[in-house]
Structure 1
Amino acid sequence: MLWFRFLKMAMKTLSGTCSSDLLSLFRGVFCIIRPRLASPGKVFFCCRISSSRRELTTPEIRDTLNPYLQSLVEEHGNFMVDFVKNFPSAPIQKKPALPVCRSHSSLYSKKPEAVSFVSAPSPAADLCPQFLYLLELGMDLEKIKLLTRRYPNFSYYSLEGKIKPLVEFLLDLGVPKSCIPTILSRRPSLCGHSLSKKIIPSMIYLEDLGVDKKQWAKVICRSPDLLCHSRQKVQAIVNFLHESGLSGDSIGNILTKFPAIVGYSLEDNLRPTAKYFKQLGVNAAIILCRSPVTFGHSIEGHLKPVTNFFLEREFSVEEVGTMVSRYTGLYTLSLTENLIPKWEFFPTMGYSRPELVKFPQYFSYSLEQRIKPRFALVKGLGMKMVLSSMLAPSQCNFEKVLIRNRKNLLADKGSSHTEDK
């Protein structure tokens, strides 16, 4: 086959070490499934036929072929594509180089050229239309540079055919213009999807699953990735939520308020985390419904350390389970910045551990802005309040409670003084 002969030729033209590396990775026979010479960044899709039957990953293909392709680029310049297309015929004579802002970069990488688009001495004058449009939307130049480094393909999307139609569609949905740069920065590949064939059908499908169509602007701002996932991926997550005991309305609510859950891995995040909480005696459906972000945390890196933090302080497994059931956001808190300092202050207030089991929301309040000031005020007035009554009310309601309790306290003291006489 053409590409197999081409690879053999490339190996012969290179040093023995390079050829050895190539032979080591490309053992067996290659089937070149789909040449994509006209699409930089997607040069080959190779399937290795070997005992492992493993399909090569894109990084493996890219990192291995790049040195060889680069050597051919150095030899044949911008006409390597013609060289390969006409192999084994002699390469076509070189022609004048194209301008920098063109439709295709060098075959082996888009990134250097894409970054060069926004690194010129006078960027405002030299930027391509795509980047000028981003500047008009409010994205600063540094973010544009970062975007092109992360996703060089963006500079090759058609402004009129891809980028503008998507932006106008988002604005029509009610997405604030100020949010557009953030959406494009987080998910630039969204511009590469067809509105009529991918994005709109995905939205209709998600609405059938319960996503509130009136909330699309907020949903997309929260997680623009949602519109890029395949139906198979979305359905797999929905099936898991059903298996966990959630109803259709609850699932729709989760997809609307926390669409990022669709990006979680079933095998690495969702199933193991559900199993872990089951061992603590906690219904995973409660956490999924109230605090689905918990399922994005690592079990070994975060969940177990939080559990051990309480166990080391003589809380039982049952008490930990009760606490997380009452306050499902408990496992989203930082050990060093939240749990530890608040726990160290807790004994100084004179409350018992059962009080904390009853009201684990204690850990959700600011230590410096709410817990310490309110406790100092209550203590200064000579009163004692239940932990939840002291922290849960708003500032206005808290002051009313203090006034009422203060009156009751004074009335009790007056009554006791009269009886003594």
Structure 2
Amino acid sequence: MLTLQTQTFFPLILNPSKTLIPKFKTLNYSQSPGQIPIPTSNSGLRFHDKLLYLKTLNVNPQKALQQNPNFRSTPLESLKLVENCLLSMGIERGAFGRIFDMHPQLLSCDPYFDLYPVFGFLLNEVKIPFVDIRKAVVRCPRLLVCDVDEKLRPTLRFLRNLGFVRMNAVSCQTTLLLVSSVEVTIMPKLDYLMSLGFEYDEVARMVVRSPALLTYSVANNLMPKIEYFLSVMNGDLGELKRFPQFFSFSLEGKIKRRHRLLAERGLTMPLSEMLKISDGEFNNRLIEMKLRLLSRR
């Protein structure tokens, strides 16, 4: 049940307006920017209570202060507003430690200007059901520190043009894509795949079927796997169009090992079958295929 404090913000989610000021307007209560209040017995006690409160959230106070000096002058009541905001969206207290550890600037943010616009965007524009908001944020806490107008909305528009619509729409499982830069992160993957000979529409279908493709490093993931697939496995690019999930499997831990076992026995297997099945089932398939091969001789 929402508290009175969080209820005052909830209309923004139901009818989100444009962000009124730049992201992360710090609630600075010191007399001048960067100034730390002169310690007194009362202020020292309040500061001590604030550090203890951080520990109840499983947040390292020393790290929090080091990475977000503004938190020193932020009242405890302000942090409780942030907590109430997250709780009102279904995010359990047990997840706060990880969220604040990854993004300590949240400790001194203003929920009205910084958090509720993001939640309103996820609910009303991305169309993520309320019950899945928790999953989206826990999976990708960076959502909470991204500007809706400058980052999230333009990326959503690009993804929808790419094909993330209807049954393939962005979900709580793929909101990680929303925090990606179109120019710096997404386009290099598309350009690399097209450089192999795929058409843009083919690449679009591949990434919609396997969204993780847009999160992999070209140099550390895509290129080594493509090189092995083409030069060692003598693979057909058409098979990658049918099974783009190939790039999600470990090159050393699974692709090379299983291909080597097949090659040593003179056997072949469709790419999807070779990688999707468990080790036990793969070994059983090897035995069955070898026995069939021997029976034909």
Provide the TM-score with structure 2 as the length reference.
0.75
Tell me: CA distance 1:279–1:368, structure 2 relative to 1, closer, same or farther (3 Å). same
Query: Equivalent residue for 2:293?
Result: 413
Unaligned runs of 5+ in 1: 1-37, 43-151
Give the conservation status (yes or no) of the 8 Å contact 2:229–2:235.
yes
The AA in structure 2 aligned to 1:194 is: P
Q: Deviations over 1:370-390 (max 9, x none)?
A: 322332222213222332333
Cα distance, 1:153 vs structure 2: 5.5
CA distance in 1 between counterparts of 2:205 and 2:212 reads 13
The AA in structure 1 aligned to 2:269 is: M
Residue identity (%)? 24
Give the conservation status (yes or no) of the 8 Å contact 1:255–1:261.
yes
Give the conservation status (yes or no) of the 8 Å contact 1:327–1:360.
yes
The AA in structure 1 aligned to 2:180 is: H
Give the conservation status (yes or no) of the 8 Å contact 1:219–1:257.
no
Cα distance, 1:180 vs structure 2: 4.5
The AA in structure 2 aligned to 1:360 is: P
Provide the TM-score with structure 1 as the length reference.
0.55
Cα distance, 1:291 vs structure 2: 3.3
Give the conservation status (yes or no) of the 8 Å contact 1:211–1:252.
yes
Tell me: CA distance 1:297–1:174, structure 2 relative to 1, closer, same or farther (3 Å). closer
Cα distance, 1:203 vs structure 2: 1.0
Structure 1, 306-315 or 384-393: larger mean CA deviation = 384-393
The structure, 1 or 2, with the larger RCO (C-alpha pairs under 8 Å, 6+ apart) is 2
Cα distance, 1:181 vs structure 2: 4.1
Query: Equivalent residue for 1:323?
Result: 206
Cα distance, 1:200 vs structure 2: 1.1
Query: Equivalent residue for 1:367?
Result: 251
CA distance in 1 between counterparts of 2:261 and 2:58 reads 45
Q: Which has the larger radius of gyration?
A: 1
Is residue 233 from structure 1 mapped to residue 114 from structure 2 by the alignment?
yes
The AA in structure 1 aligned to 2:238 is: P
Give the conservation status (yes or no) of the 8 Å contact 1:273–1:295.
yes
Cα distance, 1:318 vs structure 2: 2.9
Q: Deviations over 1:73-126 (max 9, x none)?
A: xxxxxxxxxxxxxxxxxxxxxxxxxxxxxxxxxxxxxxxxxxxxxxxxxxxxxx
Give the conservation status (yes or no) of the 8 Å contact 1:190–1:228.
yes
Unaligned runs of 5+ in 2: 1-29
Tell me: CA distance 1:254–1:180, structure 2 relative to 1, closer, same or farther (3 Å). same
Query: Equivalent residue for 1:35?
Result: none
Query: Equivalent residue for 2:103?
Result: 223
CA distance in 1 between counterparts of 2:171 and 2:52 reads 34
Give the conservation status (yes or no) of the 8 Å contact 2:68–2:104.
yes
Q: Deviations over 1:8-38 (max 9, x none)?
A: xxxxxxxxxxxxxxxxxxxxxxxxxxxxxx9
Q: Provide the secondary structure at the position in 1 that maps to 2:172.
A: helix
**RMSD between aligned residues:** 2.9
Give the conservation status (yes or no) of the 8 Å contact 1:210–1:255.
no
Is residue 382 from structure 1 mapped to residue 274 from structure 2 by the alignment?
no
Tell me: CA distance 1:337–1:319, structure 2 relative to 1, closer, same or farther (3 Å). same
CA distance in 2 between counterparts of 1:346 and 1:289 reads 32
Tell me: CA distance 1:414–1:387, structure 2 relative to 1, closer, same or farther (3 Å). closer
Q: Provide the secondary structure at the position in 2 that maps to 1:329.
A: helix
CA distance in 2 between counterparts of 1:292 and 1:183 reads 26
Alignment equivalent of 1:253, drawn from 118, 135, 148: 135
Query: Equivalent residue for 2:81?
Result: 201
Tell me: CA distance 1:410–1:385, structure 2 relative to 1, closer, same or farther (3 Å). closer
Alignment of 1:89-238 (within 5 A): 160-161=44-45, 163-175=47-59, 179-195=60-76, 197-230=77-110, 231-238=112-119
Give the conservation status (yes or no) of the 8 Å contact 2:265–2:290.
no
Query: Equivalent residue for 2:242?
Result: 358
CA distance in 2 between counterparts of 1:317 and 1:302 reads 17
Alignment equivalent of 1:289, drawn from 157, 164, 172: 172
